[in-house]
Amino acid sequence: MSSSAYPPVLTGLIKRLARLPGLGEKSAGRIAMYLLQAPAQEVEGLAEAIRRMKQEVRTCSRCFHFTDEDLCSICSDPARETGEICVVESTADLLAIEQSGAYKGRYHVLQGVLAPLDAVGPEDIRIGEFLKRLDEEKVSEVIIATNPSSEGEATAHYILRLLKSRPVRVSRIAYGIPMGGDLKYTDRVTLERAMKGRQAF
Ligand SMILES: [Zn+2]
């Protein structure tokens, strides 16, 4: 049955769902059918969870990971104060490293990479905030975990240059992650090895 044979309200939902990443019209239709038949309470719970997420989730004032308080759960955990800061491009990359279980320090989420062609400069990727943290927190090691893409590499080298004159060890994860790869699609074991095999940068 083509979606045009559905009532407009249903077609509208399917169109919205199909815009979500990873979903085509077919899976969007399946989800819409599931929701249509699910108990009202479950569907309302889902709608409420989406609404609350939009209203309450913001970025951590220190590391820019997502949180619903001022500081995220990692920044507010004293056990994570190891003197290490792992610099990642995105929250998705942070979560991938967390799942590997190979790292116990804190993070700094750049929320992007340097991309001169798209006019993304250092002020757009939280570099100033990062340098401020180095002054304020007792940081002994910075682990640069940007992706091994050309922008990720350029960003890593930019940060390395900024850190040259500072008394901080700088390492870069690399081992096991292919060039052009993406941290969030890297399996747990490879990522764990990459983190453990990080090298001075
Ligand atoms: Zn945080």
What string of pLDDT tens digits covers the 201 residues of the chain? 555 688 999 999 999 999 999 999 999 999 999 999 999 999 999 999 999 999 999 999 999 999 999 999 999 999 999 999 999 999 999 999 999 898 999 999 999 999 888 888 888 899 999 999 998 998 999 999 998 788 888 899 999 999 999 999 999 886 566 667 788 877 776 777 677 777 777
- Rounded Cα–Cα distance for residues 108 and 168 (Å): 15
What distance in angstroms lies between residue 53's CA and the mean position of ligand 1's atoms? 17
Q: Tokens 């180095």: give the residue.
A: 134
Residue recorded with tokens 């590997």: 100
* d(CA 61, ligand 1 centre) in Å: 7
**61: in domain:** no
Query: Looking at the domain assignment, is residue 176 inside a domain?
Result: yes
Domain that holds residue 170: 77-200
Residues 107 and 9 in one domain: no
Helical axes 25-37 vs 8-18, angle rounded to 10°: 130
Give distance in angstroms: CA of 5 to centre of ligand 1: 48
- Give the H or E element holding residue 40: helix 40-56
Q: For the chain, what is the domain count?
A: 2
With beta carbons less than 8 A apart as the criterion, state whether 172 and 143 touch: yes
Ligand 1 mean position, distance from CA 95 (Å): 13
- Asked if residue 118 and residue 28 are part of one domain, the reply reads no
Q: Does residue 152 share a domain with residue 117?
A: yes
Could you tell me if residue 69 is inside a domain? Answer: no
- Is 175 inside any structural domain? yes
- For ligand 1, the distance from its centroid to the CA atom of residue 189, given in whole angstroms, is 25
Q: How far is the CA of 162 from the centre of ligand 1 (A)?
A: 22
Same domain, 33 and 104: no
- What is the token pair recorded at 158? 């930019």
User: In this structure, are 134 and 187 located in the same domain?
Assistant: yes
Domain check: are 85 and 118 in the same one? yes
* C-alpha–C-alpha distance, residues 153 and 112, integer Å: 12
Residue 139: inside a domain, yes or no?
yes
How many Å apart are CA 179 and CA 150, to the nearest integer? 9
Residue 71 CA to ligand 1 center (angstroms) comes to 5
